[in-house]
Amino acid sequence: LNSHKQSYSNRGMSLEEDINVTNQYYLTHDICVIHKKPTPVQIVKVDYPKRSAAVIKEAYFKQASTTDYNGLYKGHYLDFEAKETRNKTSFPLHNFHEHQIEHMKAIVKHNGIAFVIVRFKTLGKTFLLEATKLFPLWDRQYDDAGRKSIPYHYFLDNGFEIPINYPAIVDYIKIIDQLFF
């Protein structure tokens, strides 16, 4: 993990990479079982060379129909999306897709735990915001006076800053513990 620490202190790590390291730590230490879903790809053409692995020669990125992460913690279903922004004062809602919001609404309806992890890169702050706190802002953006972004202070007032702890880099399960257990 030392090499990771180094690259992290060099600001080379993305939020997604941090969360993947965190999930690996959680898994190894039997804390929870959370995995990132693979990037969905539409495969069009595959070559099968003799005596070597199949090569995908033509494929396209597909829109994901769900969030990026899900899994299991203390018998509960967890589901979340992670996003980062360089903005300092707000988080633009267009970073989420309609079907991701619909998916999180279905999760909440079926008694799962849904949330987003949002990093303000420039500020060096990472927040957990419950999906139920996101839905009203999402829905309201289509109103005449609706904002197209979430103000930074909304995260301060309604979200929870995630401690950046080693060796779990984005220690979101601490917040989930406070909120639900």
Query: Is 65 an interacting residue with respect to a copy of itself (CB under 8 A)?
Result: yes
Question: Binds 68, which of a copy of itself, Mg ion, none (CB < 5 to 8 A, cut-off by type)?
Answer: Mg ion
- Sign of the C-alpha dihedral computed for residues 152, 153, 154 and 160 taken in this order: positive
- Our finding on whether 164 is near a copy of itself (CB under 8 A) is no
Tell me, residue by residue from 66 to 105, as one string, x for binding to a copy of itself by CB under 8 A and - for no binding: x---xxxxxxxx-x-----------------------x--
Calpha distance 181→168 (Å, rounded): 19
In the bound complex, what is the minimum distance in angstroms from residue 29's beta carbon to a copy of itself? 12
Which residue lies nearer to a copy of itself by CB, 27 or 164? 27
Question: Cα torsion for 107, 113, 119, 123, to the nearest 10°?
Answer: 140
Radius of gyration of the chain (CA): 18
User: How many Å apart are CA 19 and CA 11, to the nearest integer?
Assistant: 14
- How far apart CA 58 and CA 45 sit, in angstroms, is 5
DSSP 69-113: EEEEETTEEEEEEEEEES-SSEEEGGGS-HHHHHHHHHHHHTT-E
Residue 14 makes contact with a copy of itself by CB under 8 A: no
112 vs 167 by CB, closer to Mg ion = 112
Which secondary-structure segment (H or E) carries 124? Answer: none
One residue of 18, 19, 21, 68 binding Mg ion per CB under 5 A: 68
112 binds, among Mg ion, a copy of itself, none (CB under 5 to 8 A by kind): a copy of itself
**DSSP 8-state code for residue 141:** T
- Give the residue with the Cβ less far from a copy of itself, 69 or 138: 69
Site for a copy of itself in 18-47 (CB under 8 A): 27, 30, 32-33, 35, 37-41, 43
Residues at the site binding Mg ion, with contacts judged by CB under 5 A: 68
Residues at the site binding a copy of itself, with contacts judged by CB under 8 A: 27, 30, 32-33, 35, 37-41, 43, 53-62, 64-66, 70-77, 79, 103, 106-107, 109-112
